[in-house]
Amino acid sequence: MKVPLLDLHAQYKSIKSEVKSAIDEVLESQYFIMGDTVKRFEAEIADNCNATHAFGCASGSDALLLALMAIDIKPGEYVITTPFTFFATAGAISRLGAIPVFADIDPTTFNIDPNEIEAILNGEHPVANRLAVDVSKIRAIIPVHLYGQMAEMTPIMELAKMYDLYVIEDAAQAIGSKYKGKIAGEFGDFGCFSFFPSKNLGAYGDGGLITIKDAALAEKVDILRTHGARPKYHNIYVGMNSRLDAMQAAILSVKLPYLDEWSQKRREAAQRYNALFEEHGITSLISECSSSCVDQGNEGCALPENKLVLPSEIEGAPENDGKHIYHQYTVRVKNRDEIIEALKNEGIGSAVYYPVPMHMQKCYSDMGFKSEDFPKSVCAANQALSLPIYPEITPEQQEYVVSKLTKILSNYA
């Protein structure tokens, strides 16, 4: 049996005729950039995400950049975010000459820990203090809803209010995810979404979208995405060319009505994995990550070599009207790279999101970080292993993954 990490063919097959006629319509119109098709999709997403304003753009990376440009982030200012994310989050901050201030993660959810944010803002975070972060120049927080589960937005929003900071939700992996009854993008000043093909709502190329609360900021984003010009050829700001193609918008409009059903299927698949792993008796609770754990590399963690840690949903979800949409189903294991090879030999795809935390990226090597500054992120980068998940995955495929992984782990007994 073969179980790929993601199978986009299965989804395409189920919507092929609708997609083809949507593409055909765009071809017949010969209108490819912005226009009514894009406007219609923006309205649909705004409705879906309870947003007042929504603007398509070229990618999730550009959505983050546009949000930071809209609030006029300047060189030398600071933005708090997580070190355990895709580079686009930190990269958007740095590209504007601003400085990312990292707050370590909650190891159970892999998402930014609000206590860490609070310590930075109170001037009590040892790393921020060592690097002489000027708290008065912190302008925003970018929580990332990693793997499809929202960060702890209640305390994050409280801190943002207390310190008068903007909140830009990086919801690239979390469209349709919920926390305490609100949907991803609904808490912050901005919600940034990606339609990269492998995302839960994936285009057939690059694409992104930004949702915005404030009307004036919304207008600014709209202007910024077309070179900062309004009217055309009269540039108010130095903007960029970041637009969603009509073709991608048409495809996404076909897919959007299926999103809830697809997310539900992903949730069911995650629950099936959890139950199967429990049945096989190979699960372990999360171990405490510490600086010493990082000093000793992967060997320092208390996680037994023949067990794995299941992904966990934040307290109360879904009972508390929260919803993880399992963009990824990510477990923790030791000997991760060997396990990936062994899975590959059994025809099973897997991936590491992400192997290098932001503070250890070469491009940030002059910022003065040490590996052990964010031990929980380093530990996650050593142990995280994403297993195949997509709406069409079959119970047989999942049983195959679990039985093979159980066998591989038993070699470490």
Candidates 154, 94, 117; CA nearest to 366 is 94
Instruction: Tell whether residue 60 is a contact of ligand PLP (CB under 6 A).
Output: yes
- The one segment of 31-39, 46-54, 58-66, 222-230 that binds ligand PLP by CB under 6 A: 58-66
Among 37, 89, 211, 398, binds ligand PLP (CB under 6 A): 89
Q: Which is nearer to ligand PLP, 78 or 86 (CB)?
A: 86
DSSP symbols for 315-335:
TTTTTTS-B---S-EEEE-SS
Instruction: Tell whether residue 151 is a contact of ligand PLP (CB under 6 A).
Output: no
Instruction: Tell whether residue 88 is a contact of ligand PLP (CB under 6 A).
Output: yes
Least separation in angstroms between residue 353's CB and ligand PLP is 8
Residue 161: CB atoms within 10 A of its CB come to: 10
Candidates 371, 190, 379; CA nearest to 298 is 379
Instruction: Tell whether residue 85 is a contact of ligand PLP (CB under 6 A).
Output: yes
Instruction: Tell whether residue 110 is a contact of ligand PLP (CB under 6 A).
Output: no
Instruction: Tell whether residue 173 is a contact of ligand PLP (CB under 6 A).
Output: yes
Among 86, 262, 277, 364, binds ligand PLP (CB under 6 A): 86
Contact 307, 409 (CB under 8 A): yes
Distance CA 265, CA 389 (A): 10
Candidates 1, 108, 5; CA nearest to 340 is 5
Q: Which is nearer to ligand PLP, 4 or 205 (CB)?
A: 205
Instruction: Tell whether residue 61 is a contact of ligand PLP (CB under 6 A).
Output: yes
Least separation in angstroms between residue 109's CB and ligand PLP is 14
Instruction: Tell whether residue 144 is a contact of ligand PLP (CB under 6 A).
Output: yes
Instruction: Tell whether residue 211 is a contact of ligand PLP (CB under 6 A).
Output: no
Candidates 191, 184, 202; CA nearest to 323 is 184
Least separation in angstroms between residue 306's CB and ligand PLP is 31
E strand or H helix that includes residue 5:
none
Candidates 61, 62, 56; CA nearest to 39 is 56
Q: Please count the CA atoms within 13 angstroms of the CA of 149 that sit on its side-chain side.
A: 23
Hunting for tokens 């190891």 — which residue is that?
107
Q: By the criterion CB under 6 A, which residues form the site for ligand PLP?
A: 59-61, 85-86, 88-89, 144, 170, 172-173, 194, 196, 206, 208
